[in-house]
Amino acid sequence: MPYSAEIIVVGCGNILFADDGFGPEVIKALGEYSKEDPLPDNVMLIDAGTGGPHFVFSLPHEEWKKMIVVDVVQFNAEPGTVRKFSVDEIPKGSYENVHSWPVNQPLHDLAEVCEVMVIGCKPEHISAPDVEMGLTKSVEDAIPKAIEMILKEIRG
């Protein structure tokens, strides 16, 4: 599937591991929101799940001007805090997928061809390797804030 759009919004994470599902849940909520208030035609939403590094970081498209990655990020804040990170701000060693594969380098590589940012939410609980469906309340309550921040990036 070609990912041809100027602005790509990518939700990363695993819905089977509690708050790790934040990224996919934001993409789902943003999709629902866009039914009432459509997003610009140059925007594509992608629920990358745990395949973000494979599907996105290895397949940059020449049309891409901005990539907004939505994921959980470990940083010094209360659970449910949402913050925009530039690639250079990602705390070293703290941004990994559930398989502990560091994605800092792919993000830095991608930042050479388009603008890249991470809308990150501090998780309260990630259950991996145990399966636990659903977000904690603090992270679920952060979804509207994440959508607000994404819309600001999309619409300027």
CATH of 7-155, one of 3.40.50.1450, 2.60.40.10, 3.30.565.10, 3.40.50.620: 3.40.50.1450
Q: Can you give the pLDDT at residue 94?
A: 46
Q: What is the pLDDT of residue 50?
A: 80
Measure the CA–CA gap between 156 and 95, rounded to whole angstroms: 26
Q: Edge-to-edge, what's the strand order for the sheet holding 43-49?
A: 43-49, 7-12, 66-72, 115-121, 82-86
Task: Taking residues 13-18, report their average pLDDT.
Answer: 93
- 52 versus 99: the higher-pLDDT residue is 52
Q: Where are the domains of the chain?
A: 7-155
What pLDDT is attached to residue 56?
Answer: 61
- Nearest Cα neighbor of 146 from 89, 77, 71 is 71
Give the Cβ contact number of residue 14 at 10 Å. Answer: 19
What tens digit of pLDDT does each residue of 75-117 get? 899 999 999 998 888 755 545 554 445 566 777 778 888 999 9
Q: Identify the weakest region by mean pLDDT among 36-40, 102-106, 122-126.
A: 102-106
Instruction: Work out the mean pLDDT of the chain and round it to a whole number.
Output: 86
